[in-house]
């Protein structure tokens, strides 16, 4: 039996992870769960899965949740904040942590989990974007598995099985292109939050959905792939594939390209990470090749969707530059969702922060946390009024 904690249990990935667990209660036991503020949903999860620990990271929500359990004789320990996440990520009794919180809040708990020797099913890509260098060192030192959940990285991970890393020519990360594929900058000037949240293929949390519309999501995935697969940026290419059936590909030096195809459903990469190196039972609709008419591919338009270009640049500069890019983006997306800035301002703000904040090599965790405060504060003060 595998015992797990899910950080960010109430979100899109968290909920789909529960779907996978529901199908196999004999082999999985949920020990720790968390929410930021959605305590109603957290409560339902407690009732159904009976975990031993629940974390709430937002203060008022935490107090409300705790109040609910006052005078109830539940076998549940209720914890608060990042400390709470760190605790459920490193419990002696668990084997694996699913990291599905949003944004940089995943970094520290993931590090604590690795230090405690837990395997990681990694959805929270921001962790690797920001702290890839530190995280990879810790993964090696503590000899844990870091298994990607992001569909593209899961695809690449699957295409690499049984092959030599030294035979890789390049990897091809596919991108749906998001809701604004084919549009030019003029057409994007006044797009609304609602339009940006209307993703053609995936139903995801708001932050990643906006990232998919700007193509920053693909940029973050390029940096994530760099760390996961130890590849230079020159060997990581992005291909727009609007049907989202080919989830990514690996091209080998002999010219063979191996791809992973499946229905557009995150439960498959989640399940693959939970069962690795085995495969679980059918969890998504099977592909019917007679009904699949066209699979199309095109080059991304990085002049219109600048964030993808910026992410490559930040990745190549290295040091703390990807952290600067990520923090600027997180805050800018938040401002966009609050209708305080326009869609194209997101890329503009990220570029501005990359020019303003000098990157540092040989950094520690404290440097990253410092960058988070400085960059987000700067963006909020300058653009958030």
Query: Strand, coil or helix: what is 162?
Result: coil
- Minimum CB distance to ligand NDP smaller for 1 or for 118: 118
CA distance 359 to 374: 13
Is the CB of residue 259 less than 8 Å from the CB of residue 158?
no
Runs of H (alpha helix) within the chain = 12-22, 39-49, 59-68, 81-89, 107-115, 125-142, 151-160, 185-188, 193-196, 206-214, 216-229, 267-275, 306-317, 321-337, 345-356, 365-383
From first CA to last CA, the distance across the chain in angstroms is: 51
The site that binds ligand NDP (CB under 6 A) totals a number of residues, namely: 26
Has 346 been labeled as part of a binding site?
no
**Position 123 contacts ligand NDP (CB under 6 A):** yes
**Position 264 contacts ligand NDP (CB under 6 A):** no
The residue at minimum Cβ distance from ligand NDP is: 11
- For residue 125, the partner it binds in ligand NDP, Mg ion, none, with Cβ less than 5 to 8 A by kind, is ligand NDP
Is the CB of residue 217 less than 8 Å from the CB of residue 343?
no
Stretch that binds ligand NDP, among 4-12, 133-141, 184-192, 355-363 (CB under 6 A): 4-12
**Position 266 contacts ligand NDP (CB under 6 A):** yes
CA distance 42 to 35: 7
366: number of Cβ within 10 Å: 8
Task: Write down the least CB distance from residue 237 to ligand NDP, Å.
Answer: 19
Task: Write down the least CB distance from residue 26 to ligand NDP, Å.
Answer: 26
Which residues, listed in sequence order, are joined to residue 174 by a DSSP beta bridge?
A: 239
- For residue 301, the partner it binds in Mg ion, ligand NDP, none, with Cβ less than 5 to 8 A by kind, is none
Has 174 been labeled as part of a binding site?
no
CA distance 145 to 100: 16
**Position 100 contacts ligand NDP (CB under 6 A):** yes
**Position 241 contacts ligand NDP (CB under 6 A):** no
**Position 107 contacts ligand NDP (CB under 6 A):** no
Contacts of 163 (CB under 8 A, 6+ apart): 250, 252, 258
> Among 150, 301, 334, 372, which residue sits at the site for Mg ion (rule: CB under 5 A)?
150
- Minimum CB distance to ligand NDP smaller for 102 or for 240: 102
How many CA within 13 A on the CB side of residue 319?
12
Task: Write down the least CB distance from residue 151 to Mg ion, Å.
Answer: 5
288: number of Cβ within 10 Å: 8
- Minimum CB distance to ligand NDP smaller for 185 or for 365: 365
Site string for ligand NDP, 136-165 (x = CB under 6 A): --------------x---------------
Is the CB of residue 349 less than 8 Å from the CB of residue 328?
yes
Cα radius of gyration (the chain): 20
Q: State CA 146 to chain mean position distance.
A: 13
**Position 223 contacts ligand NDP (CB under 6 A):** no
**Position 126 contacts ligand NDP (CB under 6 A):** yes
Question: Of all residues in the chain, what percent are helix, strand and coil, respectively (each to 5)?
Answer: 50, 15, 35
**Position 218 contacts ligand NDP (CB under 6 A):** no
Stretch that binds ligand NDP, among 45-53, 119-127, 272-280, 318-326 (CB under 6 A): 119-127
> Among 23, 37, 233, 352, which residue sits at the site for ligand NDP (rule: CB under 6 A)?
37
- Minimum CB distance to Mg ion smaller for 152 or for 351: 152
Q: What is the DSSP letter of 361?
A: S
Which residues, listed in sequence order, are joined to residue 124 by a DSSP beta bridge?
A: none
Chain residues binding Mg ion by CB under 5 A are 150-152
Task: Provide the annotated binding site.
Answer: 10-13, 38, 124-126, 150-152, 176, 199, 205, 212, 217-218, 221
Chain residues binding ligand NDP by CB under 6 A are 8-14, 35-38, 57, 100-102, 105, 123-126, 150, 202, 204-205, 208, 266
Task: Provide the annotated binding site for NADPH.
Answer: 10-13, 38, 124, 126, 205
Task: Provide the annotated binding site for 1-deoxy-D-xylulose 5-phosphate.
Answer: 125, 151-152, 176, 199, 212, 217-218, 221
């Amino acid at each position: 039996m595998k015992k797990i904690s899910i950080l960010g249990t109430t979100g899109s990935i968290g909920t789909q992870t529960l779907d996978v667990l529901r199908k196999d209660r004999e082999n999985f036991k949920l020990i720790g769960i968390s929410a930021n503020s959605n305590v109603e949903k957290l409560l339902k999860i407690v009732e159904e899965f009976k975990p031993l620990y629940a974390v709430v990271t937002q203060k008022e929500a935490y107090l409300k949740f705790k109040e609910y359990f006052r005078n109830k004789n539940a076998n549940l320990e209720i914890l608060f904040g990042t400390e709470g996440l760190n605790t459920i990520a490193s419990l002696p009794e668990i084997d694996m942590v699913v990291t599905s919180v949003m944004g940089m809040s995943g970094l520290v708990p993931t590090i604590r989990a690795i230090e405690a020797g837990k395997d990681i099913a990694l959805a929270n890509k921001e962790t690797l974007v920001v702290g890839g260098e530190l995280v990879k060192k810790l993964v090696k030192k503590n000899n844990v598995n870091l298994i990607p959940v992001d569909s593209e990285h899961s695809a690449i991970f699957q295409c690499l099985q049984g092959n030599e890393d030294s035979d890789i020519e390049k990897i091809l990360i596919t991108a749906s292109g998001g809701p604004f594929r084919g549009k030019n900058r003029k057409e994007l000037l006044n797009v609304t939050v609602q339009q940006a949240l209307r993703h053609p293929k995936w139903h995801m949390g708001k932050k990643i959905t906006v990232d998919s519309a700007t193509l920053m999501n693909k940029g973050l995935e390029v940096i994530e792939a760099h760390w996961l697969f130890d590849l230079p940026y020159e060997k990581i290419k992005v291909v727009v594939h609007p049907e989202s059936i080919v989830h990514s590909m690996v091209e080998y030096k002999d010219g063979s390209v191996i791809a992973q195809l499946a229905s557009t459903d995150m439960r498959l990469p989640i399940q693959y990470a939970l069962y690795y190196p085995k495969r679980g039972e059918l969890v998504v609709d099977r592909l019917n090749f007679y009904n699949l008419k066209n699979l199309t591919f095109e080059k991304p338009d990085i002049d219109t969707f600048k964030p993808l270009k910026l992410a490559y640049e930040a990745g190549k500069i290295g040091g703390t530059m990807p952290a600067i890019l990520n923090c600027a983006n997180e805050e800018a997306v938040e401002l966009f969702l609050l209708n305080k800035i326009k869609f194209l301002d997101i890329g503009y703000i990220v570029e501005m922060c990359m020019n303003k904040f000098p990157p540092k090599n040989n950094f520690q965790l404290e440097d990253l946390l410092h960058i988070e405060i400085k960059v987000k504060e700067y963006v909020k003060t300058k653009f958030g009024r």
